Amino acid sequence: MDVPLWIALLVVGYLGIKLFRPPVWLICVLLLGGYLLADSLVASVIDTAVK
């Protein structure tokens, strides 16, 4: 079964919020930080470290 990545992320995110109940500010910081990090020079360093 092929599931698009964005659907899988939505399901995991929804379950994480429902099960662990993190504060809203923490979710916003993680989303904004990930968005800003993906467009920076650090993204290439992280990409090579993961591979």
pLDDT at 25: 92
pLDDT in tens, 1-51: 788 888 988 899 899 889 999 998 998 899 898 888 888 888 888 788 888
Report if pTM > 0.75: no
**Do the Cβ atoms of 18 and 24 come closer than 8 Å?**
no
Measured in whole angstroms, the distance separating CA 34 from the mean position of its chain's CA atoms is 6
Distance CA(33)–CA(19), nearest Å, equals: 22
